[in-house]
Amino acid sequence: MLTQLLTNRYALEPAYHDRVAEVVMHRIINGKENLFAGLVGERKKLHTWNKSAGLTPYGYKWQEKILSSTGHVLIVPVIGAMSRYGGACSFGSEDMANWIRAANEDPNISAIVLEINSPGGEVDGTGALGAAVKNSRKPVVAWVAGMAASAAYWVASQAREIWMEDAISSEVGSIGVLSMHVDQTGALEQEGYKVTIIRSDGSESKALYNSVEPLTDEIVADVKTSLNSIRTQFISTVKAGRPGITDESVFSGKMFEGKQAKKLKMADRFGSLLDAVVRADQLAKQANSQSQKSNNSSSMSLKTTLAGVFGVSADDAAEVTEEQISALAVSVEEHKQTADALEQANQKVEALEADKMKAEGERDAAQASVKAYTDLGVGAAEAKTALDWYQAEKAKGVAPAGDESENKPDKRKVSALTQKAIDAKNRIQAAKK
């Protein structure tokens, strides 16, 4: 217990912190250790939850589940100082996060109420619990009995609504982070103890934040940097969950009583735990109604689609049952797939026809060229020589120009390609002689 208190970072209400610090100091001075040492270790294996294996998280079955018009509302008790794994027969933030996840998979649960009366606690595990509340598909309402301070408000701010039991006696806030350091050197010296810490080479920064060595300015600065980072995340999380908060004084670490908290948008309403349960039930009913409207809208949209696909009137389509819709939906999907396949086939045919027309054009051009060479008396060998020359000239980036000379057998202008073919023919014939 002492090790846990002295080494962890906390989001705690100041007055509670001061009372705990006094108790801790008393136990240190009297050389006492944790009365409940080992309980956390004994329970650590019970915190795991494997949804795929069909396991229920430890403690879930014992939590109160109140019958409502929409099902059952799960009550999650966030009571007392918070720690990740709990201890001294209490449950931890990890347990509570698992309960919320399990409730989302439990068909008997329609909504969740967080019953909060806590000064806050360890930072470790608080973010995960807050995320479980925020990501819950089923509505979560936070109800504050005495206080929701620091880490407890971190979690409460992620709920759909925050209810406070009383406008005067209930409080929320203490948005801040602290780390408690106890310097034992004086007490140890009085008892005749002198502590020497020996660190291995390369471990000069090992456990500098301890209770038997004085804190340097550098160590204090490092700790404050870490705490400031957590505070920034804390404020960002609260603002995301409570976008109505605009007064920055809310984030000074101060506590606010119910009436003022509501004015600052830190809370929504006042009422008993039962009132919060009724409200959670209403939110569940609204969620179910919206889901039903969405399903009905999807159903009507599908009926309209069916009317268009099968050529029936809208009135006739409206008479179609859900079972018939399911069957027809399969037909619609098959029809769509067939139409898509036909469209793809038509596109391929069009592409092939285009290729065919191009090939036919190239064929006609080739036949015309062959005929032109034949008319000039140029054979296949001469034509090949001419074509090879023509391609070589084009490869150089220079298109062969027309020949303007008129010393041709047919006394008319021809292309340089044709002239080359004629020249090649003459050379071949000369070689044969």
**pLDDT tens across 406-430, in order?**
454 443 445 666 666 767 777 777 7
Over residues 32-43, the mean pLDDT reads: 44
Provide the pLDDT for residue 187.
86
Question: Residue 130 half-sphere exposure, CB side, CA atoms within 13 Å?
Answer: 27
Over residues 184-190, the mean pLDDT reads: 86
DSSP character at residue 373 = H
**pLDDT tens across 329-378, in order?**
666 677 778 888 888 888 888 888 888 888 888 777 777 766 766 776 67
3-class DSSP assignment, residue 166: coil
Provide the pLDDT for residue 337.
80
Judging by DSSP bridges, how do beta strands 161-164 and 72-79 pair with one another?
unpaired
Alpha helices for 258-321 (secondary structure H) = 258-263, 273-310, 314-318
Question: Residue 102 half-sphere exposure, CB side, CA atoms within 13 Å?
Answer: 24
> 2-283: which CATH architecture?
Alpha-Beta Complex (3.90)
pLDDT band at 58 (very low <50, low <70, confident <90, very high): confident
More confident residue, 304 or 250: 250
* Amino acid identity for residue 256 in this structure: F
3-class DSSP assignment, residue 310: helix
Q: Please give the Cα distance from 17 to 11 (Å, whole number).
A: 10
Over residues 250-268, the mean pLDDT reads: 96
* Amino acid identity for residue 4 in this structure: Q
Residues of the chain with CATH 3.90.226.10: 2-283
CA 61 to the chain's CA centroid: 30
10 φ/ψ sector (left φ>0, alpha ψ -120 to 50, else beta): beta
Instruction: Name, in order, each residue with C-beta under 8 angstroms of 153's C-beta and a sequence gap of 6 or more.
Output: 120, 172, 173, 174, 175, 238, 266
Provide the pLDDT for residue 13.
59
Judging by DSSP bridges, how do beta strands 65-67 and 72-79 pair with one another?
antiparallel
pLDDT at 257 over 50: yes
**pLDDT tens across 206-254, in order?**
988 888 888 899 999 999 999 999 999 999 999 999 999 999 999 999 9
pLDDT band at 404 (very low <50, low <70, confident <90, very high): very low
Most distant CA atoms of the chain, gap in Å: 130
